[in-house]
Amino acid sequence: MPKSLRNNIIPIILIFLVIVYAVTQFASTSRGSTVTTMSKLVEDINANKVKAVTVSAEGTTMRVTYKDETTLAAIVNKEDKIDVTELLKNYGVTPDQLRTLAISVESVPLLTQLSGALLWLLPTLLIAGFFLVTMRRAQSGADQAFSFGRSRARRMTSENPVVTFADVAGCDEAKAELVEVVDFLKNPEKFIQLGARIPKGVLLVGPPGTGKTLLAKAIAGEAAVPFFSLSGSEFVELFVGVGASRVRDLFEQAKKSAPCIVFIDEIDAVGRMRGAGLGGGNDEREQTLNQMLVEMDGFNTDTNVIIVAATNRVDILDPALLRPGRFDRRVMVDAPDVVGREAILRVHTRGKPVRTDVNLNVIARQTPGFTGADLENLVNEAAILAARTGKTEIGQIELQAAIEKVALGPERRSRLMSPREKEVVAYHEAGHAVAAALMPETELNVQKVTIIPRGMAGGVTWYAPETEDNLISTSRKRLEARLVPMLAGRAAEEIIFDDVTAGAVSDLERVTNIARAMVRQYGMSDEIGPVSYSERNELVFLGREIAEGRSYSEKVAETIDSEVSNIVHRAYTRARQLLSDNREKLIAVARALLEKESLDPVEFRAVMDMQPV
């Protein structure tokens, strides 16, 4: 029986009984619906018009059948059962007429019997059904109330699709750190015999999309143990004490299923630093965190339960949560390098119809900064593009187009631009590209220049760095050189049109942010020197703008602003000079863009009269 029908069986039975009762009542009252009086009946009997008289089983009515087969009902106003013969004699029917009548007493019909039974049974059933339904709902509400404090963790076992380390790429160092966790879950005895204390908690730290959740699933898949998964926000509810109760229930379930892994995603939702709130430190979230700290300390050395948590905001976590004995290990899961990106692409293209001539190394080099989630989305977009064009395999063209769509946004060919706007955009983008190509110290390769609107931009110039950017390779000369191509678009407008537009707003924001970081964080200012002024004293529950404290004086702030302005102005002057000296190449690239709308690396270098890379 379906669950929905089983839950509603009682209301269905009650409705059926009501319908049966109504039908029987209608049937019983519909018989002999035409009524006659006793005086009229006696006249008809004496006139020899009546054929038979049938008394009802209740004895309160008579059904009169005439010789013309007409049937009437006569109602007797008596409470007791009647004697038909005596009654008719009393009303004046002669004995001779009585002998001609067929007088009988009818048996009780089944419908009448059922109607009488239902008359007594139906109210009882209705009352009983009402109380039964009410009690069931109350019991359901009680179950929900009792289960309100239970953990909402989702358990995945061997029946679920297994994820192993073979499905994780681009984070070899993180996988190496987690191999010991898997080894402990598989063979805990060899660690315990040596007196080794196995990490109780592993904290995965990294930007969004780098594969922290996937790594946790891979640990469970490799160890072949139960895997409890939930989010940090699922602990805290409106009611006081629910979060702590759920923490207790979660750890009880974990101990019963040991060895197992408990994965808490976005633990910063419940693990924020205590004592900095506006509620006096006794709010529900802090009580939940306190219970979690107690439960993590309560594990014995023979309790094979490991807590794996993920966050991208480790700076706001409570220090008590990060100390040894709770989250013993902190594993960095950063964006992959070019080798890692190629490995990730191979994982995501596995099982997909990819052409044999596809070079994933080229795609990996063109996607600096992409995370594993970005690369998965890239491969999916390439598959969609191939299906849209009716192809049966994913080729290099589709992957290249997917990179541009993910990195630059979709093309907006429907946006109407006047010839003047196209010309301004062409010279703006040509300025970016020419400056980057003529400055090898930027270490940027122009991948595409287009005046087709993408996203919110009227045109796009796309670079790919020759080497991976990191703090070690981020030198002062390199940063100052990269400011020049960013400002070259605005400089080109000023050189060609002797005017500027607001199209460089995003360029100016990026340049200013880089210059400010050079002065405040990197110590790349002659006036300020090797001093960092980027300290931010924040209260974790307040907004950054409200709570940010400045650790330097107004005089230093003026010096910082002056240095930032000097760096930006030097870069802009250098961009103007570079484009003025190469005006012919600037014009040639702009005219090529107006003609073709987009230039790939080969076409761009051909217009620039440069050797192909």
Q: Per-residue pLDDT tens for 55-83?
A: 766 656 677 777 776 766 665 555 445 56
Between strands 102-105 and 50-55, the pairing is parallel
Q: Do 176 and 220 belong to one domain?
A: yes
Distance in angstroms (rounded) separating the CA atoms of residues 210 and 267: 16
Structure confidence at residue 184 as a pLDDT band (50, 70, 90): confident
599 inside domain: yes
User: Catalytic residue among 234, 295, 429, 563, which?
Assistant: 429
Q: Do 348 and 293 belong to one domain?
A: no
Q: Do 347 and 242 belong to one domain?
A: no
What's the mean pLDDT in 123-145? Answer: 60
Structure confidence at residue 17 as a pLDDT band (50, 70, 90): low
pLDDT at res. 544? 44
Nearest CA among 227, 214, 235 for reference residue 285: 235
Residue 140 has pLDDT above 80, yes or no: no
Structure confidence at residue 612 as a pLDDT band (50, 70, 90): low
Rounded to 5°, the CA angle 388-390-395 comes to: 85
pLDDT at res. 541? 44
401 inside domain: yes
Residue 281 has pLDDT above 50, yes or no: no
pTM: 0.66
Q: Do 200 and 301 belong to one domain?
A: yes
Structure confidence at residue 229 as a pLDDT band (50, 70, 90): confident
What's the mean pLDDT in 295-307? Answer: 68
pLDDT at res. 186? 77
- 215, two tokens: 């790594």
pLDDT at res. 332? 87
pLDDT at res. 519? 92
pLDDT at res. 387? 92
24 inside domain: no
**Full domain range(s) for residue 102:** 31-107
40 inside domain: yes
Q: Look at residues 372, 387, 408 and tell me which one is the last residue of a structural domain.
A: 408
Domain count, the chain: 4
pLDDT at res. 573? 94
pLDDT at res. 122? 63
Q: Do 316 and 349 belong to one domain?
A: no
Residue 102: φ, ψ to 5°: -95, 100
Q: Do 268 and 294 belong to one domain?
A: yes
pLDDT at res. 9? 60
Q: Do 398 and 442 belong to one domain?
A: no
Domain with residue 73: its CATH number is: 3.30.720.210
| Mean per-residue pLDDT over the chain, rounded | 77
Q: Do 278 and 312 belong to one domain?
A: yes
26 inside domain: no
pLDDT at res. 508? 93
What's the mean pLDDT in 337-364? Answer: 89
Q: Look at residues 107, 123, 140 and tell me which one is the last residue of a structural domain.
A: 107
Structure confidence at residue 567 as a pLDDT band (50, 70, 90): very high
Residue 280 has pLDDT above 80, yes or no: no
What are the CA-CA distances from residue 413 to residues 356, 453, 462, 595 (Å)? 32, 7, 18, 15
Residue 24 has pLDDT above 60, yes or no: no
pLDDT digits (tens, 9 = 90+) for 522-566: 889 888 888 888 655 444 444 444 444 567 888 888 999 999 999
- 191, two tokens: 């660690």
In sequence order, which residues have a C-beta less than 8 Å from that of residue 395 and are 6 or more positions away? 354, 355, 357, 358, 386
What's the mean pLDDT in 122-129? Answer: 69
**Is 342 designated active site?**
no
Residue 581 has pLDDT above 90, yes or no: yes
Domain with residue 391: its CATH number is: 1.10.8.60
Q: Do 513 and 443 belong to one domain?
A: yes
pLDDT at res. 189? 79
Q: Look at residues 79, 107, 135 and tell me which one is the last residue of a structural domain.
A: 107
Other C-beta atoms closer than 10 Å to the C-beta of 5 total 9
Decide if 288 contacts 321 (C-beta within 8 A).
no
Higher-confidence residue: 381 or 238? 381
Q: Do 317 and 202 belong to one domain?
A: yes
Residue 31 has pLDDT above 90, yes or no: no
Domain with residue 577: its CATH number is: 1.20.58.760
Percentage with pLDDT > 70 across the chain: 69
Residue 443 has pLDDT above 60, yes or no: yes
Structure confidence at residue 121 as a pLDDT band (50, 70, 90): low
Higher-confidence residue: 247 or 505? 505
Q: Do 356 and 466 belong to one domain?
A: no
Q: Do 328 and 347 belong to one domain?
A: no
What's the mean pLDDT in 380-408? Answer: 89
What's the mean pLDDT in 472-500? Answer: 90
pLDDT at res. 2? 52
pLDDT at res. 490? 93
Nearest CA among 26, 293, 29, 339 for reference residue 173: 339
Distance in angstroms (rounded) separating the CA atoms of residues 112 and 284: 66
Nearest CA among 223, 212, 30 for reference residue 115: 30
| 5-9, 461-465, 468-472, 573-577: least confident range | 5-9
Higher-confidence residue: 345 or 40? 345
495 inside domain: yes
| 38-42, 367-371, 398-402, 563-567: least confident range | 38-42
Report CA Rg, the chain: 44
Place of tokens 């029986």: 1
Residue 436 has pLDDT above 80, yes or no: yes
116 inside domain: no
503 inside domain: yes
